[in-house]
Amino acid sequence: MSDYTNKTIIVTGASQGLGKCIVENILQKYNGSQVVLVARNHVLLTSFFNNLKDSDKERVLIIKGDVTDEETINLTIEKTFNKFGKIDGIIFNAGIIEPVGHLYESNFDVDGMKKLFDVNFFSIVKFLNKLLPEIKTNNNNNNNNNSNNNKKKSINIIFVSSGASTRGIDGWLAYGTSKAAVNALCKQIHDEMNEWVNCVSIAPGVVDTEMQHTIREKFVGKMKDESYQNFINLHEKGQLLDGMVVGATYARLIVEGIPENVRGSYIRWDSL
């Protein structure tokens, strides 16, 4: 086990699926690191915490709340600084896929699309707008206080994107455009702040999670048959990816660092 001492990582959407797998990878592989889990489902989060070894409980902070709620964002930042003293990395993983629909349908759910954008995109914007000014101020103060050691402290950020951000999957307008916006946000942050923010937007492939279950159960008749059938086939042939395998890549990059050549980019999880 590698000892990456004292790295504090926040993972949003960590109650199940990929987010939970990322947290488990960090706890198992990086014994010096601490993790903050953010999600709404009290039952899942409490059960996760109760099943941890006592020594791991010290390394974990649970924030129960909705990422679109400003109070959740404030509490996450405040409690993380109080318990662990710093934030070294964040994985913006919380995401939803509905509503599904087409612009050529008169009942296309525009309000639902706005709500999806609140979760998949604007919650991230809000979170970073709370955190980055604080980190920038700390960096400036450190530089002023210690002119011999004026290297800026960097923060690692990983955005969980999707293949749907670069190609139009039938009916996934809301989801695909929100993930494309996330890729653009990543590029923008890199271009403006690469001296002290290292970020990358990573698509995880098709992972065996609740989101895939939702697609199979609820999207029949809402997407073109051929597009829908792709997801059924992947499931039936046992070709969905294991969250622990995919999560290992996110855990490694957030703790060990994001390679310089991919910072600011959109990449696939298996391209590194």
Ligand X SMILES: NC(=O)c1ccc[n+]([C@@H]2O[C@H](COP(=O)([O-])OP(=O)(O)OC[C@H]3O[C@@H](n4cnc5c(N)ncnc54)[C@H](OP(=O)(O)O)[C@@H]3O)[C@@H](O)[C@H]2O)c1
* Chain positions contacting ligand X, by CB under 6 A: 12-19, 39-41, 44, 66-68, 93-96, 119, 160, 162, 203-204, 206-207, 209-212
Catalytic-residue membership of 162: no
Cis amide linkage into residue 99, ω under 30° from 0: yes
Instruction: Fill in the amino acid letter for 22.
Output: I
Q: State which residue, 169 or 193, has the beta carbon closest to ligand X.
A: 169
d(CA 272, CA 269) in angstroms, rounded, equals 7
- The residue with tokens 């949003």 is 12
Q: State which residue, 87 or 202, has the beta carbon closest to ligand X.
A: 202
Least distance CB 160 / ligand X (angstroms): 4
Q: State which residue, 196 or 205, has the beta carbon closest to ligand X.
A: 205
Least distance CB 13 / ligand X (angstroms): 3
Q: Which of 123, 179, 201, 228 is catalytic?
A: 179
- Strand order of the β-sheet with 89-92 is 60-64, 34-39, 8-12, 89-92, 155-160, 197-203, 266-268
Number of C-beta neighbours around residue 195 at 10 A: 10
Q: Which tokens hold the place of 225?
A: 């048959």
Q: Which H or E element spans position 30?
A: none
Phi, psi of 171 (to 5 degrees): 85, -5
Least distance CB 241 / ligand X (angstroms): 7
Catalytic-residue membership of 179: yes
Segments in the chain forming alpha helices (H)? 17-29, 42-50, 54-57, 70-84, 110-117, 123-145, 173-193, 210-218, 225-236, 243-256
Cα angle 148-152-158, degrees, rounded to a multiple of 5: 160
Catalytic-residue membership of 104: no
Q: Which of 123, 161, 162, 201 is catalytic?
A: 161
Is beta strand 89-92 parallel, antiparallel or unpaired with respect to 155-160?
A: parallel
Least distance CB 17 / ligand X (angstroms): 2
Q: State which residue, 2 or 41, has the beta carbon closest to ligand X.
A: 41
Least distance CB 106 / ligand X (angstroms): 27
Q: State which residue, 67 or 173, has the beta carbon closest to ligand X.
A: 67
Q: State which residue, 34 or 212, has the beta carbon closest to ligand X.
A: 212
Nearest alpha carbon to residue 11 among 164, 127, 176? 127
> 160 near 93, Cβ under 8 Å?
yes
Least distance CB 211 / ligand X (angstroms): 3
Q: Which of 7, 123, 165, 175 is catalytic?
A: 175
Catalytic residue list: 161, 175, 179
